[in-house]
Structure 1
Amino acid sequence: MSTVPPPSPKSQEPVLQPELLQVGSVEDEPCLRADAARNRARLLEAAARLVAEHGANGVTMEAVAAAANVGKGTVFRRFGDRTGLLTALLDDSEKKFQAAFLSGPPPLGPGAPPVERLRAFGCALLRRSVDQLELQLAAEPSPDRRFSAPPRRVLLSHIILLLRQAVPEADCELLARTLMEYLSPVLVHHLTRQCGMPMERVEAGWCYLVDRVTATSDQSRSAQLP
């Protein structure tokens, strides 16, 4: 297991190790009773069918309960609210993505230089957002939870780790939060759907941003010279 370097003096907020964070709730652990696990799988299967047939807007707690032939209270007890249900739908994809950047092959996984990994990380996350955009937008946390949702904290911690390896003298936590906003599904929707930008341009913008953020002071001054 990799070890995250200690937080820089500039931050008052501890940085969590990505591999220690969970995507779902504690109820997602293997200790679920067999019947509860089957019920959860049946509810998620029903929700996935609704997304495929009607889009993410067709996924309501009532609709999922009807499709799974259970009471509405069962769905609320299992997932809490609609955001919790949609987040659970994304859970498998999230875990696979985490495995890829934590222990998969380079450049996304360990073994490549940190800047190269950071480029690959952003491009992979952008592509995943485009592939699941409607569901990603529907599962977007409310404003009071947006920056504290466990999956987002995992991604943020990974960016901080790579920045600390690439530019240890920088305020890596602040830079990481800025970079995270470029990868937001809301911005991806605006750029690709509303502005009509091709993904190639969006990915190139990410790589350019990473290169500028990780440039040393000397490199930055050189880039400004005529």
Structure 2
Amino acid sequence: MAERADAARNRQAILQAADKLLRDHEPGHISLDQVAATAGVGKGTVFRRFGSRTGLFQELLAERAARLGAAVESGPPPLGPGGPPGQRLLAFVDELALLAAQNIRLIAAHERACGADPHSDPTYQRWHRHLRGLLSELRPDADADFLAHIVLGGYNGELVRRITASGGVPRLRIAVRDLAQRVGDVD
């Protein structure tokens, strides 16, 4: 069923409002009341569409991660299918580092909102499945499930903030690439 035009406009307005508030305020200081007021909609509209802060930040992160997801699923190698797993792993962690660095406040807000169970987030699960699959190919003898969680731990919002504050995106990319090479036993 297609989304109604007014619902689509409200959804975009809410996501843009959340994005603006994340640029202007610390993630812990953003309420759904503020999002609704900034978007020019009622608080009930935000709740009906997203259910909670968790739902709102999950959707905003999913929207930001959509390009990366499409590249992984159907883009050209080395990020997309058909490339050697080691090259795909390194291409993926490079792109994820860029996404994390560009969205530090969103990731921090998302982590706070998902506090009790961040591993159940659909975007996290998607990234984890991809990493687990690549690591299973590279290291069939290892616990690829655990190793995928370890690699994704390198994208913790506060850690990304600290690392990029003293070395920028290049430091983050080098650090997660080094971790992925060691975990995946990639040359």
Question: Which position in structure 1 is the counterpart of 2:19?
Answer: 48
Going from structure 1 to structure 2, the CA distance change for 1:201 and 1:39 (only over 3 Å counts) comes to closer
Gaps of 5+ in 1: 1-29, 220-226
Structure 1 stretch displaced more, 164-173 or 67-76 = 67-76
Cα distance in 2 for partners of 1:215, 1:42 equals 45
User: Alpha carbons of 1:145 and 1:31: their partners in 2 closer, same or farther (altered >3 Å)?
Assistant: farther
Q: Give the Cα separation in 1 of the matches to 2:115 and 2:19.
A: 25
Aligned residues: CA RMSD = 2.4
Give the equivalent residue in structure 2 for 1:164: 136
Shift of the alpha carbon at 1:153? 0.4
Unaligned regions of 5+ residues in structure 2, if any? none
- Equivalent of 1:208, from 164, 175, 178? 178
Which runs of structure 1 show a deviation greater than 6 angstroms over 4 or more consecutive aligned residues?
Answer: none
| Matched residue SS, 2:90 | helix
Q: 1:74 aligns with which of 45, 59, 72?
A: 45
Partner of 2:105: 134
Q: Cα distance, 1:64 vs. partner?
A: 2.3
Q: For the structure 1 residues 63 and 102, does the alpha-carbon distance in structure 2 shift closer, same or farther, using more than 3 Å as the test?
A: same
1:180 aligns with 2:157: no
Structure with greater proportional helix content: 2
Q: Give the structure-2-normalised TM-score.
A: 0.85
Match of 1:64?
Answer: 35
Q: 1:89 to 1:171 in 2, by over 3 A?
A: closer
Look up the match of 1:116: 87
Change (3 A) 1:47 1:204: closer
Distance 1:37 1:153, change over 3 A: same
CA-to-aligned-CA distance 1:169-189 (integer Å, 9 cap, x gap): 222112111111123233212
Q: Percent identity at matched positions? A: 38
Change (3 A) 1:209 1:90: closer
63-72 or 112-121, larger mean C-alpha shift: 63-72
Q: TM-score, normalised by structure 1?
A: 0.72
Structure 1 residues 206 and 87, CA gap change in structure 2 (3 angstroms): same
CA distance in 2, matches of 1:208, 1:67: 41
CA offset at residue 163 of structure 1? 0.9
Instruction: Give the Cα separation in 2 of the matches to 1:211 and 1:70.
Output: 47
CA positional deviation for 1:56: 5.4
Structure 1 pair 121/62, CA: closer, same or farther in 2 (3 Å)? Answer: same
Q: Count matched residues.
A: 185
Within 1, Cα distance between the matches of 2:62 and 2:114? 18
What amino acid is the match of 1:37?
Answer: A
Q: Any idea what SS the aligned residue of 1:144 has?
A: coil
